[in-house]
Structure 1
Amino acid sequence: MAAFSLGSLQAHAALFGDDEARRAILDVRTKVDAMQQSKAETSAVLDLSNQNEQLRQEIARLNGQIEVLTNELANVQQRQKDFYTDLDNRLRKLEPQNVSVDGQDALVGQSEQRSYDDALALFKSGDYKKAGAAFNDFVQRYPQSAYAPSAQYWVGNALYAQRDYRNAISAQQSLVKKYPDNPKAADAMLNIASSYMEMKDRTAAKKTLESLVAKYPNTPAAQTAKERLTNFK
Structure 2
Amino acid sequence: MKRAVLITAMFFGAGAAVAAPAPVEDLAGGSGDDRLARLERIVKSRQQSEIDMQRRLDTLQQEVLDLRGLTEQQNYQIEQMQQRQRQLYDEIANLSSKATATPAASVPATPAAVAATANAAASSLSETASYESAVNLVLKERKYDDAIPAFRAFIKQYPDSVYAANANYWLGQLLFNKSEFAEAKQVFNTVVTRFSDSNKRGDSLVKLGMIAEKTGDKAGATQYYQQVVKDYANSAAARIAQQQLAAIKA
Please give the TM-score of this superposition, normalised by the length of structure 2: 0.49
The Cα of 1:120 is off from its aligned counterpart by 0.9
- Whole-angstrom CA distance in 2 between matches of 1:133 and 1:169: 17
- Report if aligned partners of 1:123, 1:131 keep a CA contact under 8 Å in 2: yes
Task: Give the corresponding residue for 1:202.
Answer: 218
Task: Give the corresponding residue for 2:87.
Answer: 105
Please give the TM-score of this superposition, normalised by the length of structure 1: 0.53
The Cα of 1:178 is off from its aligned counterpart by 0.8
Matches within 5 A, 1:82-161: 100-101=83-84, 105-106=87-88, 107=91, 109-124=124-139, 125-161=141-177
Which is strand-richer, 1 or 2?
Answer: 1
Task: Give the corresponding residue for 1:76.
Answer: none
| Residue type at the aligned position of 1:111 | S
- Whole-angstrom CA distance in 2 between matches of 1:143 and 1:188: 18
| Residue type at the aligned position of 1:121 | N
Task: Give the corresponding residue for 2:245.
Answer: 229
Matches within 5 A, 1:1-233: 100-101=83-84, 105-106=87-88, 107=91, 109-124=124-139, 125-233=141-249
The answer for unaligned runs of 5 or more in structure 1 is: 1-98
The answer for unaligned runs of 5 or more in structure 2 is: 1-81, 93-123
Change in 2 beyond 3 A, CA 1:126/1:203 = farther
- Whole-angstrom CA distance in 2 between matches of 1:190 and 1:168: 12
Task: Give the corresponding residue for 1:71.
Answer: none
SS of the aligned residue for 2:83 comes to: strand
- Report if aligned partners of 1:128, 1:161 keep a CA contact under 8 Å in 2: no
Residue deviations 1:154-210 (CA, integer Å, cap 9, x gap) = 110111111101111110011011111111111111111122222222222111111
| Residue type at the aligned position of 2:164 | A
Residue deviations 1:11-61 (CA, integer Å, cap 9, x gap) = xxxxxxxxxxxxxxxxxxxxxxxxxxxxxxxxxxxxxxxxxxxxxxxxxxx
Aligned length: 134
| Residue type at the aligned position of 2:87 | D
| The structure with more radius of gyration | 1
The Cα of 1:118 is off from its aligned counterpart by 1.1
> What fraction of aligned residue pairs are identical, expressed as a percent?
27
| Residue type at the aligned position of 2:134 | A
User: What RMSD in Å do the two structures reach over aligned CA positions?
Assistant: 2.1
- Whole-angstrom CA distance in 1 between matches of 2:207 and 2:246: 17
Query: Higher relative CO (CA 8 A, sep ≥ 6), structure 1 or 2?
Result: 2
- Whole-angstrom CA distance in 1 between matches of 2:162 and 2:134: 15
Task: Give the corresponding residue for 1:69.
Answer: none
| Residue type at the aligned position of 1:100 | Q
The Cα of 1:101 is off from its aligned counterpart by 2.0
- Whole-angstrom CA distance in 2 between matches of 1:192 and 1:230: 17
- Whole-angstrom CA distance in 1 between matches of 2:222 and 2:165: 24
